[in-house]
A and B are shown apart, each in its own frame.
Chain A
Amino acid sequence: METALTSAFGAAAQKITAEEFDAIVRRHQRRVHRFLLMLVRDPEEADNLTQECFLRAYQNLSSFRGESSLETWLLRIAANLARDHARNRKASFWKRLLGLDDEAENGAAAHVPSGDASPEQVLLAREDVRAVWDVANQLSQQQRAVFLLRFVEEMELTEIADALGLQVGSVKTHLFRALQTVRGKLRDLR
């Protein structure tokens, strides 16, 4: 939700104090970090990129015109950073070989909320989460970003389009294809 502080951020970007910037970091860091963690699937890299994301935001305050929400703008910076990171990641081959790339997949599966479910139901739910992650891993960087923003961040299609600089139609197409694959994978499981 936009507040007086965040809406003033666009108009008087250059005049923002260190305390005001700190307040913005505290308000948005959880979502930015989570999005980056889902995209890069490496907690350490997600930490570094979150820091980089806020630093870039501070350095480019003048380019924020308040056309989208502050959070959408931050997520756009995060998505660009993750894309650059994926391009430059030299160790990806070794990470994949050692299975470190599956960190988020296994980590998320271990965090399936159990509630009153039986052990068997929890096991099935974990399989589902792994299957969906498996599909998400096969998607292109942009498709994965769209998919995660929709189903993890639960963002509206227009917000996703703003955050990734896409048309709403393209967001729908990316989601449609991703969902077809998810359905296929879930069908194979049962």
Chain B
Amino acid sequence: MNSNENAHDPLVEQALVGFDLAAEHHIAHCEPCQTEREKVAEALCRFGAANREYANRPNSFWEQQAESIRAAQQASVRRSRATLALVPSVVVLLLLGFAVLGRAPGVRPVAVAPPLAQTDSDHELLVGVERAMGRRTPLALEPATLMVEESSGNEPLNSTDESKERRSHEN
């Protein structure tokens, strides 16, 4: 059996991913795993170094790239400013458009008055409520009150108040 093909495979990966104390503890005491981790780590280290070297560019390249980015950024700023400059013109045009439409014949707003029938019925209801409130006797006891008035020959009990209220509301 190859020393690389051991039963502790996941522990090597876990240790390489990092921060796994159990894996680290095992590898510290297991020689085949230690060798295996070193081999993989070395390959990964070479991979990283080779790629960093490959991506390396001369200073002139970075200067040129920074220059292109600055040009693109300035063009973007100019575009946004041009768009912002257009906004007031568009607003003025819209306002003019609304003003012209507002003056067109047949578009004037008409004042809406409340329906006459509704005002009358409201007024009548109010008069009715005040009249009922002004009575000295409730409506249900009115026949009894009449009988008392008739027998005593007095004037009607509600007559004065009612006539006053009627006058105040019906005016």
Residues of A within 8 A of B (CB): 18, 21-22, 25-26, 29-30, 33-34, 37-38, 47, 50-51, 54-55, 58-59, 104, 107-113, 125, 128-129, 131-133, 148, 151-152, 154, 157, 172, 175-176, 179-180, 182-183, 186-187, 190
Contact = CB atoms under 8 A, between A and B. Distances in A.
A54 B70 CA distance: 9
A110 B12 CA distance: 28
Nearest to B14: A176
B62 A113 contact: no
Nearest to B47: A132
22 contacts: A18-B70, A21-B73, A22-B69, A22-B70, A25-B69, A26-B66, A29-B69, A30-B62, A34-B55, A38-B51, A54-B73, A55-B69, A55-B76, A113-B49, A125-B46, A133-B47, A152-B48, A157-B18, A157-B19, A175-B16, A186-B43, A187-B2
Interface in B88-110: none
A21 B74 CA distance: 11
B55 A37 contact: yes
A132 B44 contact: yes
Contacts of B133: none
Contacts of B120: none
B4 interface: yes
Contact of B16 (A38, A108, A179): A179
B47 A179 contact: no
B35 interface: no
B55 A33 contact: yes
A154 B50 contact: no
Report the contact-size class of chain B (Cβ under 8 Å from the partner). Answer: 35 or more
Which secondary structure dominates chain A's binding surface? helix
Contacts of A187: 2, 4-5
A59 B73 CA distance: 9
Contacts of A109: 50
B162 to A, nearest CB: 75
B148 interface: no
B50 A33 contact: no
B13 A179 contact: yes
Nearest to B42: A128
Nearest to A37: B55
